[in-house]
Structure 1
């Protein structure tokens, strides 16, 4: 009776562990990069009641007679099957299509993760949600904070668009050098434009006065009023002609001043344009994300925070870059979801629940039988 009771107790413990693993899987159904666990049972040692015997001339062989003493946990596996990918559109959300892990630094220790929700800190370094540096082939990857845009290729190369090194300082110096000549030149340019506008206006006014004079002159000059109107129109036309002459003088004076200041301005502007041309924003590389893989990823140790640690049974880490053999590829703008299948987990939960209930029945049945034995003595 006691053997069956203790067998039931071992079953209760094991199914409780299985439920714990299932509960953890379900709790992490929406955790990026999470890899589900699986509980495997095995039987305990069996007590031999009678050993096996070989067949003889008069009698055949006899199998051993054994009574099992319960079950135990054989393994709690981590299944590294790929999860589905979710589109986010965020450049630094990265998913690994295939095998391989991202590497992040936790102090002096390298940790491994499939959760690629990365960010850029105030210094331009690419980090995970807890500030651990994402590792590239040459250490951490830094993007200049002045960069106008960035992208990540399928091989893990991080690109950004920015001025060349020292370009901002050269542009600032060129702007200062242009400011003086431009300040001197702009009044002359404005004065010339204004004088040309006045001349154009005066010419238009003269043309209108000339038309009015010709119209008046076409009338009957023997009539005093017509003759007076013609004389008045002529005076207006002559006055407008005088204005044109004065405006032309202003244009010539403004043009001379403009021509005198323009060479210095042109030189400064050409120098500025050359500096701008030599320091255009270009596509540059910040580094390449380094990937890691293991001969036995199931041997990695979960440490929490979507991280794994190398163990004695995971095999030595192999490093490389995406698109190399066995390292998968990096998808920017996507995140890998958990590989937990809720339908499977709920089914396993039902099986574990029924298994737990069945083992409780073993204990209660054994207790009832013991009670019957005690009741024999009354």
Structure 2
């Protein structure tokens, strides 16, 4: 009976974690580029009260007899399924239609962060002459790009911020992430290609807040054989949709269903503890 009580406690703890994850998913139902999480369970150790025996000439085999000791969390996965597109018509908004992440940095590219949220904008610029303004995320991190030649073709092994002069007449970003602008003289100038990172195991990325991820030992590294491949549409990377944002992939109907399952599971485990307590009380009352 005490085993049942501790199994109930383990079950309550697991379903509480599941409710925590569901609550976070629902809280981020409108977060741009958010990827939902899910909780998976596994059984804990089992106490063997009888071993297995092989069949003999006159008797059949015997299966092992074991008593489970509760459940625990086996994994908290991040589901990197595609979120729906929301059209904004803002020329600096973009989303990756397929696999890949935008790359951000706040220290000149030494430390990299990855995101699916493409709500970018131009900052105020460097203040020099000419004043060069950079494409940045809402937290101020600069969007990383690959340098391009005069025809807009990516140049291998040259990584750069994405900047345009303040006096540019207009700018544009195509579905391959090539950024260009029309200068004060009316000539078209190519700036850079937006860098897109791709990982062998996106589920292994570590969430760091602010819609950001960092790589881990199990995600693999973003080290393309050629940096010219680290752009949209290359080596399995998705194309860009400019003027749109990727919304959260949280499915509210599924989350509410999972919430009901978790709530009932929590209640059932509390019932196990209550029943175990009643049995212990009966044992105490035997002496009376």
* TM-score computed with the length of structure 2 as normaliser: 0.90
- Asked if 1:140 is matched to 2:133, the reply is no
- Asked if 1:283 is matched to 2:188, the reply is yes
Q: Deviations over 1:266-324 (max 9, x none)?
A: xxxxxxxxxxxxxx312211211111010000000000000000001001214410011
2:257 paired residue among 334, 342, 347? 347
Paired residue for 2:94? 94
Paired residue for 1:328? 238
Q: How far is the alpha carbon of 1:360 from its aligned partner?
A: 0.3
Whole-Å separation in 1 of the counterparts to 2:277 and 2:17 = 24
Paired residue for 1:115? 117
Q: Residues 185-264 of structure 1: matches in 2 within 5 Å?
A: none
Q: Deviations over 1:241-289 (max 9, x none)?
A: xxxxxxxxxxxxxxxxxxxxxxxxxxxxxxxxxxxxxxx3122112111
Whole-Å separation in 1 of the counterparts to 2:92 and 2:33 = 15
Paired residue for 1:317? 222
Q: Deviations over 1:171-219 (max 9, x none)?
A: xxxxxxxxxxxxxxxxxxxxxxxxxxxxxxxxxxxxxxxxxxxxxxxxx
Q: Secondary structure at the match of 1:18?
A: helix
Size of the aligned set, in residue pairs, is: 262
**Structure with greater Cα Rg:** 1
Whole-Å separation in 2 of the counterparts to 1:113 and 1:61 = 57
Paired residue for 1:65? 65
Paired residue for 2:128? none
Whole-Å separation in 2 of the counterparts to 1:51 and 1:19 = 38
Q: Residues 36-75 of structure 1: matches in 2 within 5 Å?
A: 36-75=36-75
Q: How far is the alpha carbon of 1:149 from its aligned partner?
A: 1.1
Q: Secondary structure at the match of 1:374?
A: helix
Q: Secondary structure at the match of 1:143?
A: strand
Paired residue for 2:151? none
Q: Deviations over 1:321-372 (max 9, x none)?
A: 0011311111110000000000000000000000000000000000001101
Whole-Å separation in 2 of the counterparts to 1:26 and 1:38 = 12
Q: How far is the alpha carbon of 1:139 from its aligned partner?
A: 1.3
Q: How far is the alpha carbon of 1:106 from its aligned partner?
A: 3.3
Q: Using CA pairs below 8 Å that are at least 6 residues apart, which structure has the higher relative contact order? A: 1
Whole-Å separation in 1 of the counterparts to 2:239 and 2:81 = 15
Q: How far is the alpha carbon of 1:101 from its aligned partner?
A: 0.4
- Asked if 1:130 is matched to 2:103, the reply is no
Q: Deviations over 1:72-116 (max 9, x none)?
A: 000000010010010000000010000000000033310000000
Q: Secondary structure at the match of 2:13?
A: helix
Paired residue for 2:275? 365
Whole-Å separation in 2 of the counterparts to 1:76 and 1:333 = 33
Whole-Å separation in 1 of the counterparts to 2:82 and 2:138 = 22
* TM-score computed with the length of structure 1 as normaliser: 0.68
Q: Which has the higher strand share?
A: 2
- Asked if 1:29 is matched to 2:38, the reply is no
Q: Which has the higher helix share?
A: 1
Whole-Å separation in 1 of the counterparts to 2:282 and 2:172 = 77
Whole-Å separation in 1 of the counterparts to 2:96 and 2:68 = 46
| Off by >4 Å, runs of 4+ in structure 1 | none
Paired residue for 1:308? 213
Whole-Å separation in 2 of the counterparts to 1:330 and 1:147 = 23
Q: Secondary structure at the match of 2:25?
A: helix
Paired residue for 1:162? 183
Whole-Å separation in 2 of the counterparts to 1:143 and 1:88 = 22
Whole-Å separation in 2 of the counterparts to 1:90 and 1:308 = 24
